[in-house]
A and B are shown apart, each in its own frame.
Chain A
Amino acid sequence: MNKFLSIVSFAWQRALTFRFTIFMYRFGEIAESVVLCIMWIAIYAGSGDGVSLIKGFTVQEMVTYIFIGNILTAFTRSYSTATIARDIFDGTLSMSLVKPISYIRYVFYDRFGATLLVLLTAIVGQLIASVFFLDYIIFNPDLMYLLVIVAMLFLAYLTEFLLNTIIGTVAFWVDDVDGLFSMTDRVRRFFAGGYFPLSILPTGLAFVATLLPFAYTFYVPAQLYLQKISIKEGIIGLGIQIVWIALLYMLLKFIWNRGIRKYEGVGL
């Protein structure tokens, strides 16, 4: 526990020395939320008085979806890919490998700390942005729903961390994983419902999306918040997440153990 707290606290201290970066990221997120909201409000307005629902979403639900989703994404992003790939590529990994803590565990604590800070600042950012759209925001104080959402988010964090770490680990074999990360990031954002609610998709594709882990980082918890799906569906989702975590964990172990044998500790 001491190790965990120290590493998290160190991650915070380090992140806080880069306050410019923090401000710029939040600024980008706020701008994105505002633009998406303006866009959707315009679409609803433009579709005439007759249509107040698009694929079952009212304009209020759509705007709330965007704000809640952005806070959720801030939490489930783990940023471990770049850290790991860089450490492998430039040989910094060497200095971590000699320490009496597993490297992956260290990165997990460190990135978790960084993410917590991002989450806190993202909430503040989204609250600021939501001031402009107060009339559109829906509040859900249902405790049961909130509990399932929190559990789902934690598991979503784990799946994202494992996936990002696996991608980072590919750097043992190739020099640069930016392309791979960017590719999977787009696919993930799509299947997470980050561009639009997944219910807009054809039923078949939407079903596939619920079997993948990505929907649980954004779409499903946002739907839970809007109470558009039941608690039961939420709990089934948690089960799907756990299966994914087990699979990804085994895959990571397998890849890591092979990669580390190939590691040359270059840069010297």
Chain B
Amino acid sequence: MQTIIHIKNLVKEFEVVKKQKGLAASFLSLFKREKIFVKAIKDISFDIKEGELVGFLGPNGAGKTTTLKILSGIVYPTSGEVTTLGYIPSERKEKFQKQFALVMGQKNQLPRAMPAMDGFLLIKAIYEIPDAEFNATLEELTELLDITSFLDIPVRKLSLGQRMKCELVAALLHGPKVLLLDEPTIGLDVTAQKNIREFIKKYNREKKTTIILTSHYMDDIKELCERVIIINHGEVVYDGKLALLMEKYAPHKTISITTSISLHIEKLKSYGELIQNEEFAAVFKVARADAKHLAARLIESDLGVEDILIHEASIDDVVRHIFSQKSEAKI
């Protein structure tokens, strides 16, 4: 498969002006300003192949959005190699721009004062989409996302979920080969999130569009992405299958039991690391490999186990764990 996105040793520095707190400092800053350089991206490299749907994760300020902006040619990289579809994004060639799309959950491309349909027509002109193609794509997308009923209402009057659906249509009208989705489900309710998620899944499967998705909702990632790239402090800390991530970073399982006789804490502790206990229930933390063995021991014990549940750490836990790592301590 063809490599669609290529990033090697990417670095991006920003200049930031500092201001001390208070009014006096504000007056002082009229004449003197302290500038510092912040490295938003220290060293990022990855390749993405055609048709992949990659989850791009990281805590706030990790450099996700900056990376997406560099991939779309909005900001210039400080150094490093970046190509999208074989083009250098920051050259902003029209040929390149007609083949990719960027959707930001917190930034609209459709003008708010106008109905979405008018915005679509403007996009049609700017992207020079032929009539037949435009009509066919529009019909398909409006049906898939079920937005026909509010196409002629000014965008600002729409709900967040409706607006995001319109934004997705706007981004896909020209049939992009690469789609960068930055927090497309942010602020949406559970149902709307699910709708958007299902749409993305279907779209990726049918059109073979290469998609990078950032989201703070792990459900989005679990549902959609086979591969995840995790960045923190401007560096890649994990790049691989989501399933492998679990094995690597969730070395423990938990075993919960409920019993028919009351439990003594001292006795429980002899079985393993206890993380929670009540009169008729307890939870143990155990190494992944030992889970089966401990479960068997508990059932055979004289604790009177009535019910037992082996639980694996959720992706949320794993990701939270990775996010909380300091930049020095590489995983």
Instruction: Give A residues with C-beta under 8 Å from B.
Output: 2-3, 5-7, 10, 13-14, 17-18, 91-92, 94-95, 97-101, 106, 260-265, 267-268
Contacting pair B104 A97 (CB below 8 A): no
Residues of B within 8 Å of A261, CB to CB, are: 76
Among the stretches B48-56, B107-115, B244-252, B287-295, the one at the interface with A is B107-115
If A264-B14, A268-B65 touch, does A13 touch B114 (CB 8 Å cutoff)? Answer: yes
13 contacts between A and B (CB under 8 A): A2-B125, A3-B128, A10-B118, A10-B122, A14-B113, A94-B107, A97-B72, A97-B92, A98-B73, A100-B97, A265-B69, A265-B74, A267-B107
- Chain B contact residue count (CB 8 A cutoff): 34
Chain B residues whose C-beta falls within 8 Å of the C-beta of A13 in the assembled complex = 114, 118
Q: Looking at B14, B75, B100, B182, which has the most chain A CB atoms within 10 Å of its CB?
A: B75
Q: How far is the CB of A82 from chain B (nearest CB, A)?
A: 15
- Whether B74 pairs with A98 at a CB distance below 8 angstroms is yes
- Which residues of chain B from 293 to 307 have a CB within 8 Å of any chain A CB? none
Known: A3-B125, A97-B73, A265-B74. Contact between A17 and B114, CB under 8 A?
yes
Given contacts A17-B114, A267-B107, contact A100 B102 (CB under 8 A): no
- Pick from A14, A92, A100, A268: contact of B126, CB below 8 A: A100
* Residue interface mask B168-207, A partner, CB < 8 A = 1: 0000000000000010000000000000000000000000
Chain A residues lying within 8 Å of B125, measured Cβ to Cβ, are: 2-3, 5-7
Which residues from chain A contact B72 at a C-beta distance below 8 Å? 97-98
| Residues of the B chain whose Cβ atoms lie less than 8 Å from the Cβ of A92 | 107
Tell me which residues across on chain A come within 8 A of B59, comparing CB atoms: none
Q: How many A-B residue pairs have CB under 8 A?
A: 80
Given A98-B97, A264-B14, A268-B65, output 9 extra A-B contacts at Cβ < 8 Å: A6-B122, A6-B124, A6-B126, A95-B107, A95-B109, A98-B101, A100-B97, A262-B15, A268-B104
A97 touches B74 (CB 8 A): yes
How many Å lie between the Cα of A101 and that of B122 in the bound state? 12
- Chain A: which residue is nearest B65 at the CB level? A268
Chain A contacts for B126, CB-based, 8 A: 3, 6-7, 99-101, 106
Selected from B74, B128, B154, the residue in CB contact (under 8 A) with A263 is B74
Determine whether B98 belongs to the interface, using a CB cutoff of 8 Å to chain A: yes
- Select one of A7, A10, A100 contacting B127, CB under 8 A: A100
CA distance in complex: A158, B76 (Å):
30
Residue among B98, B122, B124 facing the most chain A CB atoms (10 A cut-off): B122
Across-interface contacts of A6 in B (CB, < 8 A): 121-122, 124-126
A233 CB → nearest B CB, Å: 42
Asked if A99 contacts B97 (CB within 8 A), the reply is yes
Q: Closest B-chain residue to A175, C-beta based?
A: B17
Q: How far is the CB of B85 from chain A (nearest CB, A)?
A: 13
C-alpha gap A94/B70 in the complex (Å): 11
Contact A94 B122, beta carbon cutoff 8 Å: no
Shortest distance from the beta carbon of A65 to any chain B beta carbon, whole Å: 37
Partner of B98, one of A3, A91, A100, A265: A100
Q: Is B106 an interface residue (CB 8 A)?
A: yes
- List, in ascending order, chain B residues with CB within 8 A of A268's CB: 65, 104, 106-107, 182
Contact A98 B102 (CB under 8 A): yes
Q: Which residue of A lies closest to B167 (CB)?
A: A95
Q: Report the bound CA distance from A5 to B126 in whole Å.
A: 11
Task: Report the minimal beta-carbon distance from B216 to chain A, rounded to whole angstroms.
Answer: 13
Interchain residue pairs A-B with the least CB separation, the first 6: A6-B125, A100-B97, A100-B94, A95-B109, A94-B74, A265-B74
Query: Which of A3, A18, A94, A262 lies in contact with B113, CB distance below 8 A?
Result: A18
Q: List residues of chain A with CB within 8 A of the CB of B128.
A: 2-3, 100
Contacts of A14 in B (CB 8 A): 111, 113-114
Q: How far is the CB of B271 from chain A (nearest CB, A)?
A: 49
Cα distance, A14 to B111, chains bound together (Å)? 9
Min distance, Cβ B95 to any Cβ of chain A, angstroms: 8
**CB neighbors of A among B57-105 (8 A):** 65, 69, 72-76, 92, 94, 97-98, 100-102, 104
Residues of B within 8 A of A10 (CB): 111, 114, 118, 121-122
When distances are taken between beta carbons in the complex, the residues of chain B under 8 Å from A18 are 113
The residue among A3, A95, A260, A263 with the most chain B CB atoms within 10 A of its own CB is: A95
Nearest Cβ in chain B — how far from A27, in angstroms?
Answer: 22
- Residues of A contacting B122 with CB < 8 Å? 6-7, 10
> B192 to nearest A CB, angstroms?
20
Chain B 259-295 interface 0/1 with A at a Cβ cutoff of 8 Å (1 = within): 0000000000000000000000000000000000000
- Which residues of chain A come closer than 8 Å to B94, judged between CB atoms? 100-101
B270 CB, min distance to chain A CBs, angstroms: 53
Report chain B residues within 8 Å CB of A260: 76
CB distance from B327 to the nearest CB of A (A): 22
How far is B206's CA from A204's CA once the two chains are assembled, in angstroms?
73
Are B121 and A94 closer than 8 Å at their CB atoms?
A: no
A233 to B312, CA, bound (A): 86
